Each structure stands twice: as structure tokens, then as C-alpha cells.
Amino acid sequence: MTAQIRGNSNCAVNKLETRILRPRRVRVCFKCENEVMTERDLEGKNALVTGASRGIGRAIALELAARGAKTALVARNEELLQTLARAIDGFGSQSIYKSLDMRQETFVVELSKWLKAEDFRVDILVNNAGIYSTDYIRFDQPDSWDETDPADNELWKATLAVNLTAPYLLAKIFAPQMIERNWGRIVNISSISGQKAEAYGSAYSASKFGLNGVTQSLALELARHGITVNSVCPGWVNTDMAQHQINDPQWCRLNDINPEESLDIARFSVPQMRLIEPDEVAGLVGYLCCDRAKGITGQAINICGGLSIT
């Protein structure tokens, strides 16, 4: 449960000499952390990214930091957060990080106290943290209504707590700060499963449908205050969470898929015949956070290789 400030130093990731990078200069590749040209168009902004330790969240944190934002990184795995903070060091941006479990009701209080102690105002909120759970109707046990497994209910509660309730609570906490400055960005990482439901993932689909609804409601409430609120809806993304779902024996069994073929089936279900990379999602999020995207609000934007139209 440590919080540390990261600043300019020698990059512990690629061992290259580092420097403060001036506006319109630099970001790093999500995979190899090599420098790539980009604009520093978020200089002076502070961004809170949840679920930042891996996958899409990690790529978003790198993208926003490379655009000049100071980042607050939140996830459960402190070791991975520390590694990410070192990567951000490598191109002259600052970050703070803290290990938090967003399934716990106390996380909001802990997060607020930590950011207040760090004097970190939130200009950009990226609600990325999410969990997936396979769940289904047990039609093979029609008389077992009084024998429901409590664990099934806990999965439902945890999925909605992290994917839907937490983003709403964080928006309620930090939107007033944005209103004071007449500028803010809220980006909710949803899913195409929040637009077209998937079988055996009721809790996940329900949470993402709900998140898209929250996005629209908040966009209407905050539109007059210089604040945009949008959802980004990925399809299959090359992340640990997606790989876990694709390789889950229960998910494969329910979908009548051979586990050895599940990755190819997922890939070939996409018109582009590939999985989206995390840095593609991050690039879209970065654009939505800049001033050039100030006219985009209340939208659920798909980035799925065409999967949403199949």
C-alpha cells in the first residue's frame, strides 16, 4: 500500500539515458517502450487511471503520460504499478501509484484521502478497471431454485461493483473539481458487449450496458461545464483478461468450442481477423482527452476491427 512520486531519472526499463522531453516530442511503444513521436498536448493536466497495471490500462497510462499528463495509477498489483511508473520515468513525466482493490466498498475513501494527501487534482478520469465472469442459467437443474450457489451471487456483485458502481462513484467525486475549472474528461472503458450482449456473460454485459447509460447521463449533466464524457467499446483485445476468457474451460464448454481452437475462433470472428492491440485503444483515449475532441461527448465509440457489425 505504498504511494511514491516518480520523476525524471534513468529509465529502469530500457537502461537508456533519459531527458525531459519538450512539447510535441514523445511517447513510448506499449510493447518495447521505444520512443515514438507524439504531441505533449496534455501538459499541466492530471489523469487518474484505474486498472492501470496491465493491458489496456497500462497502455492508456503510458499514452497519457507521453502526452504530458501527470498520472495517478491505481490497481491491485503494486509490483506491476511500480514497473509502470519506472517506464513513465523514462520519458520525463511524473506519476504516483497506489495498490487498491476496487471490489471493496472502502476503496473510494482510501483513494480520495490518498489523492488529497498528494495534492493531486483530477482533470482526466479514465475508468478502465474491469472484471469478467462467466455465468449462466443452470437449466439442467430446474428444481434447484432454493440451492443457488452463493458464489454465483458474489461474482455478480463484484462484476457490477468494479465495472459499473466504481466508475459512477469516481465521477461523482471528481466531476465537481472539473466543474470548478470548467474543463474535464471522463472516459469509461466499456465493451461492445455493452451494445450487443453475449451469452454466458450476463453480469459483464449488464455492467457494460449500464456503463454506457451512465456515460450518456453524465454527458448531459456536465456538457455545459467544459467536461466531456465518453465510452470506448473494445472488442477482442490482446490482453491477459481476454486470453483468460478465451482459454476458460467453462466458457469454451458453454459455447461448444474446442479450447485448442478458441483463440482462432475468436480471431476469425473479427472481420479484420485479428485482436485489437492495447495501444490502439490507448490512442483513441488519448485523443478523446485532448482539446481537439471537445465536441465529442456522450458517445460509445467502438474499436473492434468490425466485430460490432457482424
Please state, in angstroms and as integers, the Cα–Cα distance from residue 176 to each residue in 134, 144, 182, 297, following that order: 36, 48, 10, 18
Active site residues: 204
**pLDDT band, very low/low/confident/very high, at 135 (cuts 50, 70, 90):** confident
Q: What is the mean pLDDT of residues 183-198?
A: 97
Of all residues in the chain, the percent with pLDDT exceeding 90 is 78
Radius of gyration of the chain (CA): 20
Q: What is the mean pLDDT of residues 152-157?
A: 86
The answer to whether the predicted template modeling score (pTM) of the entire model surpasses 0.85 is yes
Q: What is the mean pLDDT of residues 80-101?
A: 94
Q: What is the mean pLDDT of residues 129-135?
A: 92
Q: What is the mean pLDDT of residues 149-157?
A: 78
pLDDT at 159 over 70: yes
Q: Quick: pLDDT tens for 18-69.
A: 333 334 445 455 555 555 556 899 999 999 999 999 999 999 999 999 999 9
The pLDDT value recorded for residue 141 is: 63
pLDDT at 248 over 80: yes
Instruction: For residue 71, list its beta bridge partners.
Output: 47, 95
Q: What is the mean pLDDT of residues 84-105?
A: 93
Q: Which residue has the higher pLDDT, 203 or 146?
A: 203
What is the average pLDDT score of the chain?
88
pLDDT at 182 over 60: yes
Task: Show the domains of the chain with their CATH numbers.
Answer: 4-237+278-309 (3.40.50.720)
247's grid cell = 482459454
Of all residues in the chain, the percent with pLDDT exceeding 70 is 83
The pLDDT value recorded for residue 55 is: 97
Q: Quick: pLDDT tens for 250-296.
A: 999 999 999 999 999 999 999 999 999 999 999 999 999 999 999 99
pLDDT at 3 over 70: no
Determine which of 1-15, 20-34, 63-77, 209-223 has the lowest per-residue pLDDT on average: 1-15
